[in-house]
Amino acid sequence: METPVQRIQEVTIAKTLFTDIFQGEKVNKIQLFFQSDILNKYRENDNFVIIRTDTSGRLSKKGGWSLDFGISGGEDRLIHTAVESFVQRVPKLEHEHWLAHLVSLPISANFIKGLIRPGCLDDGPIRKWE
């Protein structure tokens, strides 16, 4: 089952957050989205506890780190958290696992290359977009 695209405009609190972000405020609250099966690794480990409500959850390592997340998508297929929370709370040793489950809308790989390594990219002729 494919998760439909949701327009931020249609979710009042999300619109408020992104309005602030567009004004240069709360940029650290931009959301990262992950497939919820990322949690399976932690469910299988007695050192971790996962709790939830209908739309929010928390992953905790006993005596260690924790991460709060939102739950979204049909059949709870996605979780999301703020960039700031992820960077400050999830240990670097866990990042590879999280990267394997990170999702986004379709991305232009060449555009991302230009962000990471500025320079000229051979990406076809420049033309008017009609």
pLDDT of residue 108: 87
Three-state DSSP class for residue 72: strand
Q: Which residues contact 25 (CB under 8 A, 6 or more apart)?
A: none
| Residue 50 included in any domain | yes
pTM of this prediction? 0.87
Write out pLDDT tens, residues 16-43.
999 999 999 999 999 999 999 999 999 9
pLDDT of residue 115: 82
d(CA 47, CA 59): 11
- Give the DSSP per-residue string, 33-61: EEEGGGGHHHHT-TTEEEEE-SSEEEEEE
pLDDT of residue 1: 54
| Residue 2 included in any domain | no
| Residue 124 included in any domain | no
| Residue 129 included in any domain | no
**Cα separations in angstroms, 107 against 52, 82, 111, 113:** 31, 20, 8, 11
Long-range Cβ pairs for the range 1-5 (8 Å, 24+):
1/74, 1/75, 1/77, 3/72, 3/73, 3/74, 3/77, 3/78, 5/105
Low-confidence ranges of the chain (pLDDT < 50): none
| Residue 1 included in any domain | no
| Residue 126 included in any domain | no
The residue segments making up the domain with residue 73 are 8-116
